[in-house]
Structure 1
Amino acid sequence: MRKFHVWLFAFLVAAGLGLVVPGAASGAPYCGIAWGSLARSSPGLTQAQVVNVRTGEQACFDRLVVDVNGTMAGYSVRYVPQVLQDGSGMPVDLRGNAFLQITINAPAYDSSGNSTYKPADKSELANVSDYKTFRQVAFAGSFEGYTSLGLGVRARLPFRVFKLAGPGSGSGSRLVVDVAHTW
């Protein structure tokens, strides 16, 4: 009987060690994204102007940031069959299999009509050639107090939109659009 208890103890210890031995590490981060792909918007207008557009890569998503030189007001971000230019309604050619129309309720010009955001190349606002999700970022115009951008993405993927103060202690603010790498 004693021999049975020793074997049982040895078996339970071995089984216990098997439960606490960590498995192989995965190179992919756990993202837990549950954003969805439906349109997002927030009402409001501002006297602030769009001054910059930039992008960045994160482990689980690609990020687009629109800098405004005052308090960020409203916006609209939605998937569309084709991004259209402000004012003319002409189509904006974009690379990708899905397209986000991003409208910021702020002009890209001051009260005298001078540009506050004048990209070197309106069809390539940022180099996103090695991004996992983004395919192209283009300027779609600024008309009657609204500024629009076109974002070509790999597929219709979940996204989120939010506003942030800053950067720094200045009076600026930012609109952030994150598009997930996967569902």
Structure 2
Amino acid sequence: MLHRQTLAATAAGILLAGGIGATIPAGATTAPSRTTAPTTAQVVDVRWGGHRTFDRLVIDVRGTMPPVSVKPVKELRYDGSGNRVPLAGKFFLEIKLSPAAAHNEAGQSVYKGPRLVRIHLPALRGVALTGDFEGVVTIGAAFQNKPHYRTFVLHSPERFVLDVAHTAPFCGW
């Protein structure tokens, strides 16, 4: 009788192990891959350039581009503290990327762009990283004149583009 119970327990163990193994797809690994894109988009840089009829602001993103909103605001404020951002200008745009972060999962900054910089282009006068707070990255842009702008996304690598006309809006904008 003892032999029969041992045999039954062994058979049950084999079947149980086989059943568990069948639920894991072949070739699956349990360790996370180090080469995959981050699960939350990471804002890694902000850069700009002047062109003949417009200035361009580019936000570089690692991972999939998150939804982006751009809205005019009366002044720029740092997220979290609410302190005023010291950029000169009469008009401001607030650019929000969410869900996004400017840091990695270990809390280390991945953002290599400017925190606050004055710019001397015909339209764009300054840029600031105003927030990396609760899954939202906020960037502020300052202008002397009301900005007439268009936005779009480019891929490979992922980047958000804001073009601001030097004067009246371009034809077709």
Matched, 1:117 2:111: yes
What is aligned with 2:126? 136
TM-score (norm 1): 0.66
Among 139, 161, 166, the residue aligned to 1:181? 166
Equivalent residue letter for 1:95: A
2:154 aligns to what? 164
Among candidates 42, 53, 56, match of residue 49 of structure 1: 42
- 2:93 aligned residue: 100
Q: Decide whether the 8 Å contact of 1:94 with 1:150 is kept in 2.
A: no
Using the alignment, how far apart are the partners of 2:165 and 2:82 within structure 1? 28
1:67 matched to 2:57: no
- Contact 1:97-1:155 at 8 Å conserved across structures: yes
Cα deviation 1:9-48 (Å, max 9, x = unaligned)? xxxxxxxxxxxxxxxxxxxxxxxxxxxxxxxxxxxxx612
The CA deviation at 1:93 is 1.6
After superposition, the C-alpha distances for 1:103-149 in whole angstroms (9 at most, x for unaligned) are 12211011121111044x5221xx622x1101111111200111111
Amino acid at match of 1:132: P
Alignment-derived partner of residue 37 in structure 1: none
Contact 1:55–1:62 under 8 Å retained in 2: yes
Question: For 1:101 and 1:156, how far apart are their aligned partners in 2?
Answer: 13
Where do residues 7-22 of structure 1 align in structure 2 (5 Å cutoff)? none
Query: Tell me, which stretches of 5 or more residues in structure 2 are unaligned?
Result: 1-38, 169-173
- Which of 48, 72, 83 is the matching residue for 1:79? 72
In structure 2, distance between residues paired with 1:76 and 1:89: 19
Gaps of 5+ in 1: 1-45, 167-171
1-side partners of 2:142 and 2:41: how far apart?
A: 26
Distance 2:69 2:76 in 1: 13
Which portions of structure 1, spanning 4 or more consecutive aligned residues, are displaced by more than 3 angstroms? none
Q: Identity percentage over the alignment?
A: 43
Deviation of 1:158 after TM superposition, in Å, equals 0.9
Bigger Rg, structure 1 or 2:
2
Give the letter aligned to residue 71 of structure 2: R
Q: Figure out how many residues of one structure are paired with residues of the other and give that number.
A: 129
